[in-house]
Structure formats: structure tokens, C-alpha cells
Amino acid sequence: MDEKTRKEVARKGGLAVSRNRQHMSEIGRKGGQSVSRNKEHMANIGRKGGAASRGQRQG
């Protein structure tokens, strides 16, 4: 895809989102609720974040 076409596709995507922010916000909220229900997944995320911040303090 050439640069001009890529920019046009990106522009159209941005316009679609900005026209319906409330709808997009609702979709994001529902997705976040769905992910956060998985306790094992959330624990893994927290563990990785803790390990990363611990590494920054020590290094």
C-alpha cells in the first residue's frame, strides 16, 4: 500500500471513531470488563508489571 493510500485509510478510521466516541467508549468499557473477569490473566499482568518495575529499581 502506498503512503497516500495508507494515510487516507488512517484518516477515514480516525473520522469514524471521532464521530461516535460514546459508542466506542462503551465498546472499550465492555471489553475491559470482560478481560478483568479473568482473575488468572489479571494476576499474570500484575506479576509481569511487578517484575518489570523491580528490575528498573535494581538496574
Residue 8: pLDDT band with limits 50, 70, 90:
very high
Helix ranges restricted to H, the chain: 3-19, 21-36, 39-58
C-alpha cell read off for 9? 485509510
Q: What does the alpha-carbon distance between residue 17 and residue 38 come to, in Å, rounded to a whole number?
A: 28
Contact of 53 with 59, CB cutoff 8 Å: no
**Segments forming the whole domain that contains residue 43:** 3-58
Side chain identity, residue 22: Q
pLDDT tens figures, 23-49? 888 888 998 898 889 999 999 999 999
CA 57 to chain centre: 26
Say yes or no to pLDDT of 59 above 70. no
Contact in structure between 36 and 42 (CB atoms under 8 Å): yes
Whole-model pTM? 0.43
For the segment 11-29, the average pLDDT, to the nearest whole number, is 82
Number of domains into which the chain is organized: 1
